[in-house]
Amino acid sequence: MFAEEEPIIVFVDGEMVSFDIDPIQKNGITLVQFKPVFDKLGLSIEWDQETQSIIGSKQNLEIKLTLNSTEAMINGEIEILQIAPTLIENNTFVPLRFVGEASWKLITWDSATKTVQIGKQFDIQYVWLLERTLWKSSNGEERYLPTLAKVRLINKTIESDYHNLVIEYEGQIYSRKAEYRKNSIYDKYQNKFYLTSSDLWLYNVDDFTDKALELISKAEIDYGMTEDMVILSWGYPNYKYVSDNYTQYKYITKDLIMTKTEYLWFYDGVLTKYEYSLQNNR
């Protein structure tokens, strides 16, 4: 049995386009349902029944494509298409690159992730996932991605109190909606976003060394680790003090017998001093 092929993902100005029918490729040309793309590009739509033509227009631009014809028009000028618009399951499919470039947009294609970016491109970066979390693949299947998975962040948009995330992991595209709170402690001190849903954090991979990653996976710390790394390993401190010269974390753990207080000092963002005290609770 053959594995199901991953669909082509399309972004317009950083936002993913939703299709009822997945885009297709024919002779190396990507064809898509015209309406979702026209809507994202801000084109008003007309249908000429007599000529079987689609007309998309906005200020200073008119694009005309005709079913089963390689002759298209941009502002009245004839352009020749490599592939004609066609009807698939009663939906009109049009050449994506032609429509994007006719709208004066930059088009890029990432063959590894089968992703088309039209216009503004998201600043792609690699990140770590802190928690084992549930994601939905581009073919609709749900999968838990493992703790400390290295993923490629393809797109992130903010919708009210949520982040809409799109990532690539092991050659597949996944998406997830996660709650966002601007007043989180970490956002306040570190200017990074905190996703409270399933405690998902995203960190730039460049912030980590192999040694640090190994310590984090064991919930251990060591001198030379950054604040990011310590929080990943131990979680939030019970108290945090920031001065002009250093930052101090205080972690407190209690049981029936003993209270342990651990003090961590960071100079220039790096752990350089550690002390602890024990108090008998009896």
Asked if residue 91 has pLDDT above 70, the reply is yes
Percent of the chain, pLDDT > 90?
29
**pLDDT for res 223:** 78
User: Could you tell me the pTM of the whole model?
Assistant: 0.48
Model confidence at 66: pLDDT above 90: yes
What are 99's two structure tokens?
A: 């429509």
pLDDT, residue 84, reads: 94
What is the band of 159 on the pLDDT scale with cuts at 50, 70, 90? low
Q: pLDDT class for 184, splitting at 50, 70, 90?
A: very low
pLDDT for residue 77:
84
Q: Is the per-residue pLDDT at 130 higher than 70? A: no
pLDDT in tens, 244-256: 888 999 999 888 8
- Is 4 a residue whose pLDDT tops 80? no
When pLDDT is averaged across residues 170-193 and rounded to a whole number, the result is: 53
Provide the percentage of residues in the chain whose pLDDT is more than 70.
79
Q: Is pLDDT above 90 for 35?
A: yes
CA 155 vs. chain centroid, Å, equals: 3
Task: Assess contact for 264 and 231: CB atoms under 8 A.
Answer: no
**Among 20-34, 51-65, 170-184, which is the least confidently predicted range?**
170-184
More confident residue, 186 or 67: 67
pLDDT at residue number 157: 67
Q: Which two tokens stand for residue 138?
A: 């581009």
Q: Span 87-100, mean pLDDT?
A: 92
The three-point CA angle 152-156-157 to 5° equals: 170
Between the alpha carbon of residue 100 and those of residues 83, 220, 223, the distances in Å are 15, 50, 51
Residue with tokens 């631009």: 61
What domains appear along the chain, each with residue ranges and CATH number?
A: 9-118 (3.30.457.10), 125-205 (no CATH), 219-280 (3.30.1450.10)
